[in-house]
């Protein structure tokens, strides 16, 4: 049996196509095997609660229980770093901040823990900034899910924290003269109010009555206003989102933003956008990170995503999740409209016929084109040569492919130098003669969500995944996603849009007339016709009705709709007021 080349190093380098200009969520990382369920004989790749820090013009990504962190110079190519030390155990929902030449790192805890620092985080070298941050004073619990914040306007330091469906979000000042020790008692800042805020309700599509959870604090100062962000209502479902309160002081008082949530992605392949952070790139563009939901082996099996974000002229915070799991351009400079980052490369593989070299049990090949990460194909073996084939049913202009692996019955497993994914993508116009589309045959890293941007467009019909090696115990693929253009006519603008508010004003029923030849629709909404920042992607085969249960009581809304197919996107319909 083929054995991968094994090596040991602190930094592992992924294969990336030359002159890569685009990215696609979930972020293409070597997600590490989670060990929390080992006593139940369950392990799986996972990543959650991302914090991306711009430190000296380069980027560092920290996440929950990853055994290390990632470094990037361009937000496209991420290199995994194994640190010199962790503070007693691996990090969970960590806090990080860059100040001058120093990067600070702090883990979630209910005990005494140190703050770590590094002046060379690209090497993995970490040191103690303080040995023991004292216990939290007063009656506040934590700090769990902490966030560090330095106010450049005043020079003062703060910490925000909280992860509970009982306790509020807290804030406390830190004392720089005492190595960021707590200064005074923590202040209760706010609670969830699901009876007023529909999006704060728990469950799939906000339909569960379980008391929701608030977590994942993050602070951003913009134009003299302080935006204290939080994740809700829980990481286990498609509606995990980020909201914000706004104040004139880092410790409030804070006012609920009536346009919440600020980052929301309940539909599509990648669902869930909650519990992340907001940062600026080297061009001044804002980004909001989040935690999409996978839940194949465990409810808390997750990935990480990154969406363009910002503040409009009125100070309204937003995150653009429109086509948020399709290829997006990485901006080479400052953008003025986040929609301009969408490449226009459409999904060509949805519900297309798929065949395989072998199938285990009922995990058949057709599952790899259903745009559902919770369904998957499993091969009879993981021997080299197993394959999957997708028929696009006509010649298309292919620009990128994403291969998404699944952990099927991985048992007790851990990430090490033997865990990698090796494969190649082939293409053909007749399913007889094949040429190479992308080659990771000798790849040395684990890429469970490998995104492969092609150097140039390829006109072809059949796409084939050919397996060589996977570190997991079984070869399982959830989705092979093919992007490009069918070079046909764009869909017509949908008509007949109606948005009717229920007697419960948190809910709204949206209907429209179907558009022939459409793959899907984007339902757009917001608090004004020119502020349609929310998007819910709906597949055309799911019907022409959508119940949205994410509205805020007492707030007016406007809705619009656009249709998309394999060739592009229609114009957006006129906005209608929700009645």
Over residues 226-236, the pLDDT tens digits come to 999 999 999 99
- Cα–Cα separations (whole angstroms), residue 284 to 99, 154, 289, 431: 17, 21, 16, 47
Mean pLDDT of 284-301: 96
Q: What is the CATH number of domain 498-577?
A: 2.60.40.10
Q: Report residue 443's pLDDT band, with 50, 70 and 90 as the boundaries.
A: very high
* pLDDT at residue 133, as a whole number: 85
What three-state secondary structure class fits 333?
A: coil
Q: Under a CB-based contact definition with an 8 Å cutoff, are residues 225 and 247 in contact?
A: yes
Q: Please state, as a whole number, how many other Cβ atoms lie within 10 Å of the Cβ of residue 110.
A: 11
Q: Please give the residue that has the higher pLDDT: either 151 or 132.
A: 151
DSSP structure string for 254-265: EEE-TT--SB--
* pLDDT at residue 416, as a whole number: 86
What three-state secondary structure class fits 323?
A: coil
Q: Please report, rounded to a whole number, the percentage of residues in the chain having pLDDT higher than 70.
A: 97
Q: Report residue 324's pLDDT band, with 50, 70 and 90 as the boundaries.
A: very high
pLDDT of 222 over the 60 cut: yes
Q: Please state, as a whole number, how many other Cβ atoms lie within 10 Å of the Cβ of residue 288.
A: 27
- Cα–Cα separations (whole angstroms), residue 192 to 13, 266, 441, 504: 42, 19, 49, 18
Mean pLDDT of 90-104: 95
pLDDT of 311 over the 50 cut: yes
* pLDDT at residue 17, as a whole number: 56
* pLDDT at residue 88, as a whole number: 65
pLDDT of 2 over the 90 cut: no
Mean pLDDT of 55-66: 97
Q: Under a CB-based contact definition with an 8 Å cutoff, are residues 478 and 376 in contact?
A: yes
pLDDT of 347 over the 60 cut: yes
3-state helix, strand, coil in the chain (%, to 5): 5, 40, 55
Quote the tokens at residue 513. Answer: 């007339």
**Alpha-carbon gap, residue 523 to 508, rounded angstroms:** 12
Quote the tokens at residue 482. Answer: 């093919």
Mean pLDDT of 333-350: 97
pLDDT of 544 over the 50 cut: yes
Nearest Cα to Cα of residue 560 among 513, 498, 517, 474: 498
pLDDT of 129 over the 90 cut: yes
pLDDT of 15 over the 50 cut: no
Task: Give start-end residues of each CATH 2.115.10.20 domain in the chain.
Answer: 45-325
**How large is the greatest C-alpha to C-alpha distance in the chain, in angstroms?**
73
* pLDDT at residue 116, as a whole number: 94
DSSP structure string for 158-211: EEEE--BSSS-EEEEEEEGGGTTEEEEEEEEEE---TTTBGGG--SGGG---SP
Q: Report residue 211's pLDDT band, with 50, 70 and 90 as the boundaries.
A: very high
Ranking 35-44, 288-297, 405-414 by mean pLDDT, the lowest is: 35-44
Q: Under a CB-based contact definition with an 8 Å cutoff, are residues 533 and 559 in contact?
A: no
* pLDDT at residue 106, as a whole number: 95
What three-state secondary structure class fits 373?
A: coil
pLDDT of 34 over the 90 cut: no
Quote the tokens at residue 133. Answer: 């941050």
Q: Report residue 3's pLDDT band, with 50, 70 and 90 as the boundaries.
A: very low
Q: Report residue 268's pLDDT band, with 50, 70 and 90 as the boundaries.
A: very high
Cis omega (within 30 of 0) for bond into 261? yes
Mean pLDDT of 116-126: 96
Q: What is the CATH number of domain 347-485?
A: 2.60.120.260
Quote the tokens at residue 108. Answer: 């979630």
* pLDDT at residue 5, as a whole number: 29
Q: Please give the residue that has the higher pLDDT: either 200 or 12.
A: 200
Nearest Cα to Cα of residue 403 among 415, 390, 393: 390
Q: Please give the residue that has the higher pLDDT: either 13 or 413.
A: 413
* pLDDT at residue 69, as a whole number: 96
Mean pLDDT of 58-65: 97
Q: Report residue 118's pLDDT band, with 50, 70 and 90 as the boundaries.
A: very high
Q: Where are the alpha helices (DSSP H) in 75-141?
A: none
Mean pLDDT of 142-157: 97
* pLDDT at residue 18, as a whole number: 61
Q: CA-based angle 445:383:350, to the nearest 5? A: 70
Nearest Cα to Cα of residue 231 among 286, 276, 193: 276
Mean pLDDT of 535-540: 98
The residues, any chain, with a CB within 8 Å of residue 214's CB and separated by 6 or more, are 162, 163, 164, 165, 168, 169, 191, 192, 200, 230, 231, 232, 233
Q: Please report, rounded to a whole number, the percentage of residues in the chain having pLDDT higher than 90.
A: 90
pLDDT of 188 over the 70 cut: yes
**Alpha-carbon gap, residue 105 to 421, rounded angstroms:** 30
CATH homologous superfamily of 45-325: Glycosyl hydrolase domain; family 43 (2.115.10.20)
**Alpha-carbon gap, residue 393 to 403, rounded angstroms:** 19
Beta-strand pair 147-150/127-133: unpaired
DSSP 293: B
Mean pLDDT of 16-26: 84
Mean pLDDT taken over the chain: 94
Mean pLDDT of 475-490: 98
Mean pLDDT of 64-71: 95
Task: Give start-end residues of each CATH 2.60.40.10 domain in the chain.
Answer: 498-577
pLDDT of 160 over the 50 cut: yes
For residues 113, 119, 123 and 128, what is the CA-based torsion angle, rounded to 10 degrees? Answer: -20
* pLDDT at residue 8, as a whole number: 26
Nearest Cα to Cα of residue 215 among 141, 152, 286, 157: 141
* pLDDT at residue 42, as a whole number: 85
Q: Report residue 9's pLDDT band, with 50, 70 and 90 as the boundaries.
A: very low
Mean pLDDT of 386-405: 98
* pLDDT at residue 87, as a whole number: 62
Quote the tokens at residue 446. Answer: 């684990």
**Which residues on adjacent β-strands are paired with residue 398?**
458, 484
Mean pLDDT of 347-370: 98
User: Cα-flanking dihedrals φ and ψ of residue 96, to 5°?
Assistant: -150, 150
Ranking 112-116, 250-254, 263-267, 489-493 by mean pLDDT, the lowest is: 112-116
């Amino acid at each position: 049996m083929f054995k991968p080349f094994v090596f040991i190093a602190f930094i592992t380098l992924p294969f990336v196509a030359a002159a890569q200009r685009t990215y696609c969520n979930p972020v293409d990382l070597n997600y590490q095997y989670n060990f929390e369920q080992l006593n139940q004989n369950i392990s799986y790749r996972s990543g959650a609660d991302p914090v991306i820090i711009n430190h000296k013009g380069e980027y560092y990504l920290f996440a929950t229980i990853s055994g290390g962190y990632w470094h990037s110079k361009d937000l496209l190519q991420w290199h995994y770093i194994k640190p010199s030390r962790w503070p007693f155990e691996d990090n969970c929902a960590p806090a990080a901040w860059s100040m001058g030449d120093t990067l600070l790192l702090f883990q979630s805890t209910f005990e005494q823990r140190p703050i770590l620092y590094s002046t060379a985080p690209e090497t993995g070298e970490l040191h103690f900034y303080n040995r023991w941050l004292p216990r939290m004073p007063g009656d506040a619990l934590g700090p769990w899910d902490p966030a560090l914040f330095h106010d450049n306007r005043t020079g003062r330091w703060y910490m925000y924290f909280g992860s509970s469906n009982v306790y509020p979000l807290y804030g406390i000042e830190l004392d720089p003269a005492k190595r960021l020790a707590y200064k005074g008692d923590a202040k209760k800042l706010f609670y969830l109010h699901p009876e007023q805020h529909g999006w704060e309700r728990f469950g799939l599509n906000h339909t569960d009555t379980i008391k929701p959870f608030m977590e994942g604090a993050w602070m951003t100062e913009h134009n003299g206003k302080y935006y204290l962000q939080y994740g809700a209502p829980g990481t286990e479902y498609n509606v995990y989102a980020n909201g914000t309160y706004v104040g004139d002081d880092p410790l409030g008082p804070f006012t609920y933003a009536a346009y919440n949530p600020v980052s929301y992605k309940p539909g599509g392949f990648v669902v869930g956008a909650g519990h992340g952070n907001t940062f600026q790139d080297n061009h001044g563009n804002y980004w909001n990170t989040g935690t999409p939901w996978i839940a194949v082996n465990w409810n808390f099996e997750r990935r990480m995503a990154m969406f363009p974000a910002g503040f409009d002229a009125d100070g309204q915070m937003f995150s653009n999740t429109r086509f948020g799991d399709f290829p997006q351009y990485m901006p080479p400079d400052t953008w003025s409209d986040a929609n301009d980052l969408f490449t226009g490369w459409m999904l060509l593989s949805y519900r297309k016929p798929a065949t395989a070299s072998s199938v285990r049990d009922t995990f058949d090949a057709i599952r790899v084109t259903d745009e559902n990460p919770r369904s998957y194909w499993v091969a009879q073996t993981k021997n080299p040569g197993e394959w999957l084939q997708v028929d696009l049913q006509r010649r298309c202009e292919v620009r990128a492919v994403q291969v998404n692996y699944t952990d099927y019955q991985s048992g007790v497993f851990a990430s090490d130098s033997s865990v990698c994914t090796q494969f190649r993508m082939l293409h053909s116009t007749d399913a007889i003669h094949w040429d190479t589309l992308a080659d990771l045959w000798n790849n040395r890293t684990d890429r469970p969500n490998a995104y492969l941007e092609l150097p140039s467009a390829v006109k072809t019909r059949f796409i084939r995944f050919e397996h060589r090696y996977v570190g997991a115990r079984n070869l399982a693929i959830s989705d092979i996603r093919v992007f490009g253009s069918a070079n046909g006519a764009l869909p017509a603008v949908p008509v007949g849009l109606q948005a009717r508010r229920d007697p419960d004003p948190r809910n709204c029923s949206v209907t429209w007339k179907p558009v022939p030849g459409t793959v899907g629709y984007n339902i757009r909404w917001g608090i004004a016709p020119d502020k349609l920042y929310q998007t819910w992607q709906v597949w055309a085969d799911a019907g022409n009705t959508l119940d949205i249960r994410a509205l805020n009581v007492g707030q007016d809304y406007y809705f619009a709709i656009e249709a998309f197919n394999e060739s592009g996107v229609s114009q957006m319909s006129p906005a209608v007021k929700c009645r």
